[in-house]
Structure 1
Amino acid sequence: MVGIRIKRLRIEKGLSINELSEKAGVSKSYLSYIERGIQQNPSLQVLSRLAKTLDTDVEDLLDQRKKAEPTEMIQVDREWIELVHDAIDNGVTKEEFAHYLDFIKFKNMNGGNE
């Protein structure tokens, strides 16, 4: 998806969404829609301005063979990382963690009622 590629390149370049928006001459809200996949077919003119600002070309932005790795798409909150480290430090195994997740999914499917 072009939005994921644009967001990844923006982050790699150390640009905020505001900075990329201003430098490329694309409204912040429209850029946000592209990055979130709400706007899936931005015009060639917009893609060209974004590509130039990100030091790449339109073909690179549209290249679907260059799928972003899941770890590149997800930025994990520091608190989540600390919770996982705490669980590991307290001896929680992967199997136990998976069991907890299954239990939470079960509770959510049943409206949180036991």
Structure 2
Amino acid sequence: MLNGMEKSKDITALFGQRIKALRLQAGLSQEAFADKCGLDRTYISGIERGVRNPTLEGIVVIAGGLGIELVTLFDY
């Protein structure tokens, strides 16, 4: 059974993979997506690799940058 920290790492990695898939689906490079969101490309890269854990505010910005509803980010 996974402990709380392992579960947290799993969800962070899954979320990052979801962001990357949606970004690629939208035809955006990391740099173009970061510019659209007003975020740094390295921050987006960290999220996609599952090593950065975005804040709730960041998640809202990411959804806006993708032009999707917040709930769609978590539909995986």
| Identity within the alignment, % | 38
Task: Structure 1 unaligned segments of length 5 or more: list them.
Answer: 67-114
Aligned to 2:8: none
Per chain length, whose mean CA-contact separation is higher, i.e. which structure has more relative contact order (CA < 8 Å, sep 6+)? 2
Task: Structure 2 unaligned segments of length 5 or more: list them.
Answer: 1-13
Aligned to 1:7: 20
Aligned-CA RMSD value: 1.1
1:42-83 residue CA offsets vs partner (Å, 9 max, x unmatched)? 1111111110111212222134xx2xxxxxxxxxxxxxxxxx
Counterpart Cα distance in 1 of 2:19 and 2:69 = 11
TM-score scaled to structure 1, two decimals? 0.52
Larger Rg: 1
Counterpart Cα distance in 2 of 1:30 and 1:53 = 14
Structure 1 runs, 4 residues or longer, greater than 6 Å off: none
Aligned to 2:72: 60
Aligned to 1:50: 62
TM-score scaled to structure 2, two decimals? 0.75
Aligned to 1:19: 32
Once the two structures are TM-superposed, the CA of residue 2 in structure 1 deviates from its matched residue by 1.1
Counterpart Cα distance in 2 of 1:35 and 1:16 = 12
SS at match of 2:23: helix
